[in-house]
Structure 1
Amino acid sequence: MRSVHVNKNLSSCYKNNRRISDVLSSKQFIMTDSIDNSGKKIRDKVPRTSQGIFQLPPKRPTILAAINSSNYDRVKDLIPIRMSRMSVSPFAFYRGTADIMARDLASLPHTNIHVQAMGDCHLMNFGGFATPERNLIFDANDFDETLPAPWEWDVKRLATSFVLAARHNNMRESDARQMAIDMAMSYRTAMAEYAQMNTLDLWYMKFEMHELMNKTRSERVRIMLKEAMDKAEKTSHSSVFYKITQSVLGNFEIADQHPLVYHPIDLEKEKKKVHSFLTFYKNTLQDDRRYLFSQYNIIDIALKVVGVGSVGTRCLVALLMNAKEEPLFLQVKEARTSVLEAYTEKSKYAHNGERIVQGQRLVQAASDIFLGWSTDADNRHYYLRQLRDRKIAPDVEHFDKEILAAYAGLCGKVLARAHAKTGSGMLISSYMGKADIMDEAIGKFAVAYADQTEKDYGEFLKAIKAGKLPVPAPAGK
């Protein structure tokens, strides 16, 4: 019925000597105006200033209870390493507690405008990597918790991470707050632009590293980007191969580095299970990539401890080689239920690996060609991707005020594009408006939540000191 209605209007253009573009433009104006009004009306229920308020939810679990809950079903021997990594700083603790913040955010008022949320949106979960065309781009790169959820949750978690990172780098408190405001302003202004873009142009849009380097006004940022890109260009499966493997009786295997890298299974004894696992995975790839993957054979598998929040989940590295003895490394990560699922709708994907893969494909401008999922013999879910394929990880601990501010602006733009692609960018933009009210509110919230994180971190350290949480024994004991 809608197409007939449009066709009648287009026919009338010829009769009344009106241009088709005039009719389409007027319809676009009416639709845009309607959405604009809807966005502004949401402010009546959720004022923009209210986004700056943080209050602890009722019956909030103790930090000890929350940490013990998040440690459930992790590899027991690795839990002390997780606790140790989280104990380094409030920022490290924050990286490992997405579940705590998800509960806190869910208790606060929000617009209920859903996007494909990252779920664990902090500044370390962005970075550079190579597209299938081998171009280096900057994008979000961690989707373990991804799920449709209110857009503010990502924005607030990202903003808070900048406050904590600035404090960790001994910046002034006014500068820490400004980092969050800068990120929020970048998100708001970018969203206003992306909401008006042609949909296909938005989906084709990429933040190419060379273009970012050429456009930056800061010579120091330009030099940093150039050094990072040069380093990434030298990172390949072959370079990784010589760093993490060793030759044993003429055969290559991943070298053990206890307790961070070791072999949890005997590949020969578990050959059938591994073959079944990889067959499942191969069938989640599209045909051309399935053909490419079929040219490689599994050589070795080792458990590799990664990150902060992921420590204790089952994360492995698989070494494969083809007939030309060229290596391919795949990272195999356990996929658990998203921390957001308890506070929003249940995922439409029964398989958590598929949830992560499909969410990643939705959000990123380009995704790894080997991105797929599988299930092991114990019915645990996993997702797979290439290991260190020209990756660029931000060295945030060494960022000064100028570089961290530039990084905040870039992350805000990338997040805005992700949300505009997967939700109503026009509605979000209309709600935020053209003034800096939302920016200031996000800055206020980020400071308040960073303060709460530091309090939680103090409770966490007390639990460790009291022996209620395990940490690695001192060397020599």
Structure 2
Amino acid sequence: MDTDLESATRTELLRRAREQDVPGRSSMTKDQLVDALTSGDSGDGAASEGASSDGAASDSASSDGVRGDGSRPVHSRVEAFRLLAEARARGEMVLIPRMLTGNDRRVHVRETVREDHETRIATGDLEARAKFDKLAGSVFHFFRGTNLLFYRDLVGEDARLPTVLALGDVHPGNFGVMPSSDNVPIFSVNDFDDAYYAPFTWDLKRGAVGFMLGAAEKSDLSPKKQRAIARRFVRGYVSGIASYAADGQEQTEQLRMDNAPPLIAELLASTLETSRAEWLEDLLEETRRGFRTDEELVPVSSRREEFQEIVDRYVAENEVAVPERAGRMRVKDVAERRGAGTASLGLTRYYVLIAGVRDDGTDDLLLEFKRARRSALAGLVPPSGYEVDKQGDRIRHAQRVHLVDGDVFYGSVDIDGHSCMVRERAPFRDDISLGSLSTSEWKEYAGICGRVLAHTHAMSDETGKVDYDVEPAILEAIGGRDLFVDDVLRFAEEAAERIRRDHEYFVADHELGAFRSVDVVYR
């Protein structure tokens, strides 16, 4: 065996494995990496997803931009940005996209949006067009729906800082109510689609920008008030990290009605006002045997047997502890769900009706199967050695790390060759009405969300892959709190202004039909 390999660090082994395109490398132990590099084999039980595990754009067919149908290659900058991230992480002085101005920036915005939505544009997906219309009508929606654009501006940034399992898409709309393992409402982060191991500041920077843009658009608050709200978010995070460093209570903490702050307790209570039977009435036809048909739900009952096999496989592969209320996990009906989401609008998702224990169908369960996107952070974060290859598995991993006793149905499964995430839709899945918040409530909500984010980061070394004590490391990296908070706020103000300009470029290009085709490579 190569003695150089035996003495190498896991990060060095991962680098070599990436160069040799060893499949499933990020899920391997150090010994498995050594074996794979020595023998050229991938090791037993290693997950494999080929080139997509290193990609950045959510829709791209592969990291080299080659279309799976053999047609002309699609222009891709995934590999270029991966190399840029590594160079910047090494401390090299390099040009990054946020330094671009004028026409150069406008072209960069256009190319990134096209690349990020390559599949949806190329197939003429009507929901993709609806998404672009939605983004054109709102700066906040544009921010929410162009995550790749945001993170390419951070490429390789903050490499010296502690790594956590970042949520990847922090903004005031991605905190909310969802079911716990006990089927009661809890409040926490609720969208894990872009979760990825990254410097802890990446979530803070996006979150601060999100609170500024959200407060501006939803409540028309002044720049001074936007800054004050973002400050509460960052300070809530810092105080949360300090608290978990001191008492170590993150492994048992949940926000429920009995312990939540009044603003959140009121939200949790409101979700219980609608019973499951009443909630199902809006989704099912009168006999309760299947889904109704409308512009949002398109029943595909002919696939019921197929989805029964998928559900059975999902339960087995995810080792789901099926609760009594789910009976035998019998599939009653299947429907395609249309028009949902912002970033994920246009991606295939299904609603699957699972029979409850009552014969009248008033206690049936609803599972959502949604095609998993590649994280917008992939290939852009500083190399850290902490990765999860397969997209659905990555999202499942994040939910299980970030939430204490969360939704037991959260998992992943392959459907039609695509990695999909699975979760329960519940009558008490909800989020706060941002437009109804007063200035003081915005500040309170921001502080609460900052602490919730701190809780998710604190779990990175408990149930996640981080192998050192996260909270003390973050506090040490933060140093002087006033300076740290000011640094994040100054970044956020500049980023918010840049996003507003980018939105103007996007709107102008959208009106000229820029997003009806993708960038291809000509010879």
Q: 1:184 aligns with which of 224, 234, 254?
A: 234
- Greater shift, 225-234 or 361-370, is seen at 225-234
Alignment-mate amino acid for residue 148 of structure 1: Y
CA apart distance, 1:163? 0.7
Q: State the partner residue of 1:337.
A: 374
**Aligned: 1:73 with 2:111:** no
Does the CA-based 8 Å contact 1:57-1:107 persist in structure 2?
no
Once the two structures are TM-superposed, the CA of residue 244 in structure 1 deviates from its matched residue by 1.4
Give the aligned residue type for 1:411.
C
1:432 and 2:482 correspond: no
Residue 70 to residue 416, structure 1, CA distance change in 2 (3 Å): same
Query: How much has 1:107 moved relative to structure 2?
Result: 4.5
User: Do the aligned partners of 1:283 and 1:290 also contact (CA within 8 Å) in 2?
Assistant: no
Aligned to 2:252: 204
- 1:154 is paired with a residue whose SS is helix
Structure possessing the higher relative contact order (Cα contacts under 8 Å, 6 or more residues apart): 1
Q: Once the 2 structures are TM-superposed, how far is the Cα of residue 240 of structure 1 from its aligned partner?
A: 2.1
Which residue of the partner structure matches residue 142 of structure 2? Answer: 93
Select which of 313, 322, 330 maps to 1:280.
313
Q: In the aligned structure 2, how far is the partner of 1:422 from the partner of 1:135?
A: 24
Q: Which has the higher helix share?
A: 1
RMSD (CA atoms): 2.7
Q: Is the 8 A contact 2:330 2:354 kept in 1?
A: yes
Q: Distance in 2 between matches of 1:271 and 1:420?
A: 41
Q: What whole-Å deviation, never above 9, does each CA across 1:317-368 have from its counterpart, x for those lacking one?
A: 1112145233111111111221111123587444311110111110112310
Structure 1 residue 389, shift from structure 2 partner: 4.4
2-structure distance, mates of 1:299, 1:135: 24
Pair 1:150-2:199 in alignment? yes
CA offsets 1:134-177 (integer angstroms, 9 cap, x no match): 44322111000111111110000000001101211211111111
Residue 403 of structure 2 is aligned with which of 364, 370, 387? 364
Per the alignment, residue 131 of structure 1 pairs with 180
Answer whether contact 1:237 1:329 (CA < 8 A) is retained.
no
The Cα of 1:466 is off from its aligned counterpart by: 1.2
Aligned length: 403
Bigger mean CA deviation after superposition, 432-441 or 101-110: 101-110
Kindly, what percent of the aligned residue pairs are identical?
22
Q: Aligned letter for 1:280?
A: R
Give secondary structure in 2 for the equivalent of 1:362: helix
The whole-number CA distance in structure 1 between the counterparts of 2:128 and 2:399 is 27
Picking from 228, 234, 255, the partner of 2:292 is 255
Moved more, 272-281 or 139-148: 272-281
Say if 1:156 and 1:445, in contact at 8 Å, map to a contact too: yes
In structure 2, what is the equivalent of residue 321 of structure 1? 355
Say whether 1:56 aligns with 2:90.
no
- Kept in 1, the 8 Å contact 2:369–2:423? The answer is yes
TM-score (norm 2): 0.71
SS of 1:342's equivalent in the other structure is: coil
Residue type of the partner of 2:507?
L
AA aligned to 2:414 is T
Measure, in 1, the Cα distance between the counterparts of 2:163 and 2:328. 41
8 Å contact 1:347–1:355 — kept in the other structure? no
Verify the 8 A CA contact 1:371 1:385 in the aligned structure 2. yes
Distance 1:319 1:349, change over 3 A: same
1:242 equivalent among 255, 263, 281 = 281
Q: Distance in 1 between matches of 2:327 and 2:419?
A: 22
Shift of 1:284: 3.0
Aligned partner of 2:421 in structure 1 is 383
- Structure 1 window deviating more from structure 2 (362-371 vs 344-353): it is 344-353
Tell me the CA shift for residue 237 of structure 1. Answer: 3.6
**Which ranges in structure 2 are unaligned for 5 or more consecutive residues?**
1-87, 90-95, 462-469, 517-523
Match of 1:399 among 396, 418, 437: 437
Verify the 8 A CA contact 2:304 2:331 in the aligned structure 1.
no
**Separation of aligned partners in 1, 2:326 and 2:304:** 18
2:374 is paired with a residue whose SS is coil
